Structure formats: C-alpha cells, structure tokens
Amino acid sequence: MKINHILLLIAIVWSATAHANPANESEQIVNQALAALDNDYKSSWAYTRASTKNENPTTLGRFDPSLPQAEQWSLISLGDRAPTAKEQAAWVARRIQNDEDNKDGFGKMVTAGSVQLLEESATHWLFSFVPAPDKDDDKKDRKLISKVTGKLRVNKGGHFVEEISLANEEPVRPAMGVKIKLFEMQMTFGPISEGGPVVPLSVNTHVQGRAFLAVSIDDVKKVRFSEYQKVVPTSEN
C-alpha cells in the first residue's frame, strides 16, 4: 500500500473518532441496558412482594402466573394477621390496576436525547436523564415529573440496569393546595440467577410536603421482590 493511501486511511479514522458523539454512545448504552430488563418476566415467574409504608405492618403478597388470571395475585398477610375477604379483594384490584398502568415496562421512561454520562468506573456507568411522562399520566403527574431528574446505573459486566433513581430539584405544586418539597424514588434490579432474567428487586419512595397548609405529608414506602420461581404459564397448561 502506498504511503499516501496509508495517510488517507489514518486521516479518515482520526476524523471518525474525533467526530464521534459521546451523547449518542451514552444513549445507546442506556437503551441496551433498559432492553435487558425482562419486562415479560411476569409471564413465567412467580414471586413474593413485601411492602411497608411508614410504621405500618408489612403487607405480604404473592404473584403466580401459573394460576387462573383471577387468582394470580393473592394477599398473604397484613403484619401478623390474615387479611379479610374485603382487604384481599381491594388489594388484588390495586395490583391488577398497577400491572395495567405499568405494562409498557421501563423502556419508555427516558426522554430521547437527554442521557449524559456522569461517572464511569471499572464496574459501572452512571448516567443522568430526563424522565419521560407516561402517555396515560394526568396533569398532576406530568407536573411532578417535569420537576424530576433521573440517574441510571448500568452494570458493565452484565450490561443491565442496576439502579434507577428519581428526585425533584425544587418544590413542586402538582395540584391546588398541595406542595411537594421532597420526592425521591430508587429502584434496584438484578438477575434472578446467573444468566437469568433481570427483574426488579426493590422500590423505595420518600415524599414530603404539605396539603392545604394544615396536613403534613411524610410518607416512606419500601417494596421488596423475592422468592422468584420459574412456573408454567396458565396458557401453557
């Protein structure tokens, strides 16, 4: 190869490297990591859901897609007691509605073009992003999300999302008479087993504020997902 051809090739490679867009690379990493979250895990994995709000007793429930659809969610206990039939029905209805509200998964929660690399280590990348409102969000939810920024940590080894956190940068008034001073949410994820699907492990939220000057808001909620078990879906029985 002639020397002038070599020089031309070097110039082309250098130009391509110099004009590479780090923002595009960051967004690509985030999109791939979000895609690794198994949004379809509920079709073939049973699991236990434990939630605690403030100092209230822990609510323990179970999801099992191998059962008929109306029986897939079941409330096991409220603290140290069994739930009443009315409590069972109300809880199951909330879980079904929550599944419907979140059926699109996490892939659409990041606003295109908003991803920025904050930190990189040997084990992970940490990005910031602007959360995207859900198409079904009402005016109050959209107003809140407009004041929130997000961070997303990606595991380099498995190339999956380890943590997503959301927090407001300034107070927000999502509705008349309501002022939210603090909104924080942290979601963690991990593989069920080595090489297994990446699923939710925990969700922690903390909301502080005031409603109509007289009512103080200070809610802390912790949700844990555990005891994942592979099952045969109802449709395959």
What is the total residue count of the chain?
237
Report d(CA 237, CA 232) in Å as an integer.
7
> Which of 33, 202, 38, 204 lies closest to 124 in space, CA to CA?
33
What residue type is 134 in one-letter code?
D
> Which of 84, 42, 53, 25 lies closest to 233 in space, CA to CA?
42
Please say whether the beta carbons of 166 and 129 come within 8 A: no
Q: What is the pLDDT of residue 65?
A: 94
Report d(CA 177, CA 214) in Å as an integer.
10
Q: What is the pLDDT of residue 13?
A: 40
> Which of 157, 159, 168, 163 lies closest to 127 in space, CA to CA?
163
Report d(CA 162, CA 145) in Å as an integer.
22
For 141-162, how does the pLDDT look when each residue is reduced to its tens digit (9 = 90+)?
A: 888 888 899 999 999 998 999 9
Cβ-Cβ contacts under 8 Å for 96 (sequence gap 6 or more)? 73
Please say whether the beta carbons of 219 and 53 come within 8 A: yes
Report d(CA 183, CA 203) in Å as an integer.
13
Assign 42 a pLDDT band (cuts: 50, 70, 90): confident
Mean pLDDT is lowest, of 65-69, 159-163, 211-215, for 211-215
Sign, CA torsion 53/59/60/65? negative
pLDDT, average across residues 180-190? 95
Ranges of beta strands (E only) in the chain are 45-53, 59-63, 73-78, 116-120, 124-129, 148-155, 160-168, 172-175, 178-191, 198-211, 215-230
pTM confidence score:
0.82
Q: What is the pLDDT of residue 134?
A: 75
For 113-125, how does the pLDDT look when each residue is reduced to its tens digit (9 = 90+)?
A: 999 999 999 999 9
**Continuous segment of H or E residues that includes residue 123:** none
| 4 pLDDT more than 60 | no
Report d(CA 152, CA 154) in Å as an integer.
7
